[in-house]
Amino acid sequence: MASWKRRFKRRLRRKMLTKCLFFPLRSAYQTLQPNFQRRSRATCLPAAVGRLEFAPDLWSATGKIVTTGNIKTWPHRHRFTAEEYNWMAEIGLLNGEPAVELIEGEIIHMAPMGTQHGNVVQRLHSALKTALDGRALINIQRVFRLSNITEAQPDLIVLKPGRDYHSAKFPTGSDTLLVIEVSDTTFSYDHDIKVPLYAAHDVPEVWIVDLESRCVRFFRSLVDGKYTDVQVVHEPATTKLPDFPDTDIDLSGLLI
């Protein structure tokens, strides 16, 4: 009799464990499996598109998988405003950092200026000053504001004359005649990120001096936020700006 009772109790315990543990786990797995499959197929779009979607599962530094979870719990990226960015600079939070700029709300470390990069910037400054001295303001790495979340710092900027750029107001895209970026290791960033931003914010002309490809890329004829005239010149000679059609800018010694 005692043996029968013991067998009955063992069977009862097994049934209870199955009911309490196995079925809930199976139900949870069936519920989560489609979510895992959906996340594994999804992609995270760049922040610039302004939309948030499922991101694929990520591996942490410990080697364990980190799932994104529900879209509502995925952390939002904080974007700094130009005011916040300048306040951080004023109180010294950016002191000791490499040169930085604010691009679409993100603080971007600028590549250090090497010897060749610096020499090309100086040659450009000299050529522009010779051609435009007294008729435009030519600045090296002058900050200008494109929007409330972007303050770019190109290698050279040519500004329209007769405006007070020493007041609290930053120059804007509409104040510019020309923006120049010198790219040694940063061509993709300058070409794919900064040039479209310049076009979207009324910068009439952009040059990229591509040191790796040994050429100058001219972006001109701004129409509806896009440059419609793009030229790649491997042996630059003289060129003009639309505001000064009678003045040649000599670039012949730029890439020596």
Tens-place pLDDT, residues 72-88: 555 677 899 999 999 99
pTM score:
0.71
Name the pLDDT band for 124 (thresholds 50, 70, 90). very high
Task: Name the residue type at position 143.
Answer: V
Tell whether 87 is covered by a domain. Answer: no
123 with 225, same domain: the answer is yes
Model confidence pLDDT, tens digit, residues 144-162: 999 999 999 999 999 998 7
pLDDT at 40: 36
Name the pLDDT band for 96 (thresholds 50, 70, 90). confident
- Tell me how far apart the alpha carbons of residues 7 and 17 are, in angstroms, rounded to a whole number: 16
Look at residues 34, 36, 55, 35 and name the one whose alpha carbon lies nearest to residue 44. 55
58 with 165, same domain: the answer is no
Residue ending a domain, among 18, 45, 73, is 73
48 with 121, same domain: the answer is no
- Tell me how far apart the alpha carbons of residues 157 and 214 are, in angstroms, rounded to a whole number: 21
52 with 164, same domain: the answer is no
The whole-number average pLDDT for the span 49-60 is: 40
- Cα Rg of the chain, angstroms: 29
Tell whether 103 is covered by a domain. Answer: no
pLDDT at 162: 76
Residue ending a domain, among 56, 73, 90, is 73
- Tell me how far apart the alpha carbons of residues 200 and 143 are, in angstroms, rounded to a whole number: 17
- Tell me how far apart the alpha carbons of residues 26 and 33 are, in angstroms, rounded to a whole number: 10
Q: Which two tokens stand for residue 138?
A: 């030519």
239 with 117, same domain: the answer is yes
Measured in degrees and rounded to the nearest 5, phi and psi for residue 200 equal -70, -20
190 with 241, same domain: the answer is yes
Total number of domains constituting the chain: 2
Tell whether 84 is covered by a domain. Answer: no
Tell whether 85 is covered by a domain. Answer: no
**Would you say residue 33 has pLDDT above 80?**
no
* CA–CA distances in Å: residue 37 to residues 29, 34, 91: 12, 5, 48
Which residue range forms the structural domain that includes residue 29?
2-73
Sort residue 154 into left (φ over 0), alpha (ψ -120 to 50) or beta. Answer: beta
**Would you say residue 54 has pLDDT above 80?**
no
Q: H or E stretch including 145? A: strand 144-147
Q: What is the mean pLDDT of the chain?
A: 79
231 with 158, same domain: the answer is yes
Tell whether 79 is covered by a domain. Answer: no
Core vs surface per residue 169-193: b (16+ CB within 10 A) or e: eebebebbbbbbbbbbebbebbbeb
